[in-house]
Amino acid sequence: MPTDKVNLVTGATGQLGSHIVEQLRAAGESVRVLVRSGRDQTFLRDQGAVILEGDLRDPAAVGRAVKDATIVYHCAAKVSDWGPWREFEDEAVTSTQNIVAACQLAKVQRLLHVSSISVYGHPKLVEGERITEDIPLGQGFWMWDYYPRAKLLAEQIAREFPSTTVVRPSWLYGPRDRVTIPRVIPALLEGRVPILGSGENYLNIIYAADVARGAILAANNADAVGQAYNLCSVGEVKQIDLLNTLTDALSLPRVTKRRPYGLAIRFAFVLEAWKRLIGSAKPPTITRRAIYLIGRSTAFSTEKAETQLGWKREVGIQEGVQRTLEWYVSLPENRHIAIKPLSSPLPSRERGRG
């Protein structure tokens, strides 16, 4: 075994992976990353990470990256609500197969696999029931909903390695978000965002740095081997309050138009079917998964992570949204967008155990 602890992070140019790198380096730990050629490496270089270029679909590249690693944080996957199955399969399933094989060969101490709460599918819950880690996975997956299917297959493969710990984050937000914020802010600026349903539903969003901290806790907890943990929000902010806060910060009129949640889901299905029929690589303007994330009420428990890992959310919704907006408008392509400070408290509810 190596005398010094070495952490390998995959998906380090993504939001969660970059926060894991940042926190490990802040703690003085050695970090190695495997980055696909052509990806922006500026942040990782600034953090002092050792950068290896290679593709997770290449077993030889993965083997070189994993060699002598102590802990492997496998964060890489295609995070999207659109695309052909082969892309999700390559970036989630094939990459995880290569990671597991390399971990077995290198005899790493721990594989921390980043899954998703989407692997639960759409379970039918009784009133007041929360989704715990013991609920069966893969319930009621939708047609063409490739992201959760790929994440479930990847999690099953990751568990073939004896020293695996799984974390299941929810909808992440925060600096370095290249998936959600780049869609939400332009849509708000163009007046394309409606309130889905009543708007009173609590959202399952959580600040990425909080999830990164939970992943590191899990990877370094001896009792977490073989365990899975929900790292998500039990519901801190309502859909309508988040939309009001974003529009206020952008000096936009508040959103008033509404769409019934069920009708929006069905309309998105029609759009998806049309796009697939014509073989379009461009996603429809709305998808069922996007509507589901915004319009559903959260029903997840984080009690296991709280009690076994000592994990809890530290960045509140107001602070997190302010940091996220400041990061977004700091990007060269967005410096024309002005934001106002969040002067009044963002309505939120006390976070209790799920």
| CATH number (domain holding residue 10) | 3.40.50.720
Could you give the 3-state DSSP secondary structure of residue 277?
Answer: helix
State the pLDDT confidence band at 344, using cuts at 50, 70 and 90: low
Which amino acid is residue 247, in one-letter code? Answer: T
Number of domains in the chain: 1
Q: Is the Cα dihedral 38, 206, 258, 275 positive or negative? A: positive
* Domain-located, residue 125: yes
Note the pLDDT of residue 250.
Answer: 93
Percent of the chain residues topping a pLDDT of 90: 82
pLDDT tens-digit profile of 196-226? 999 999 999 999 999 999 999 999 999 999 9
Integer Rg of the chain from CA: 20
Distance of alpha carbon 354 from alpha carbon 39, whole angstroms: 38
Exposure string for 58-74, b = 16+ CB within 10 A, e = fewer: bbebbbebbeebbbbbb
Helix spans in the chain (H) = 15-26, 42-47, 59-66, 85-88, 95-106, 146-158, 181-189, 208-219, 239-249, 261-277, 288-295, 303-309, 317-330
Query: How does pLDDT run across 98-124, given as a tens digit for each residue?
Result: 999 999 999 999 999 999 999 999 999
pLDDT on residue 352: 39
Burial class (CB in 10 A: 0-12, 13-18, 19+), 179: middle
Q: With 50 as the cut, is the pLDDT of residue 3 above it?
A: no
Q: Which domain holds residue 56?
A: 6-173+205-232+299-313
The pLDDT confidence band at residue 349, using thresholds 50, 70 and 90, is low
Residue-by-residue DSSP string for 26-78: HTT-EEEEEE-TTS--HHHHHHT-EEEE--TT-HHHHHHHHTT-SEEEE----
Q: Tell me if 214 is assigned to some domain.
A: yes
Q: Length of the chain in residues, anyone?
A: 354
Is 260 a domain residue?
no
Q: Give the closest residue to 208 by CA, choosing from 166, 168, 174, 182.
A: 174
pLDDT at residue 261, as a whole number: 95
Q: Quick one: DSSP state of residue 115?
A: -
- CA 303 – CA 314 distance, rounded (Å): 15
Residue 341 lies in a domain: no
Side-chain-side CA neighbours of 216 within 13 Å: the count stands at 24
Please provide the average confidence, as pLDDT, over all residues in the chain.
92
Q: What is the pLDDT of residue 1?
A: 38
Q: What is the pLDDT of residues 17-63, one digit of tens each?
A: 999 999 999 999 999 999 998 899 999 999 999 999 999 999 999 99
Max avg pLDDT among 76-85, 138-147, 158-167, 173-182: 158-167
Residue 197, in any domain of the structure: no
Give dist(CA 252, CA 188) in Å, integer: 8
Q: pTM of the prediction? A: 0.93
Q: Would the pLDDT of 127 be above 90?
A: no
Any domain includes 92: yes
The verdict on residue 338 lying in a domain is: no
Q: 58-96: per-residue pLDDT in tens?
A: 999 999 999 999 999 999 988 888 899 999 999 999 999
**In-domain check, residue 121:** yes
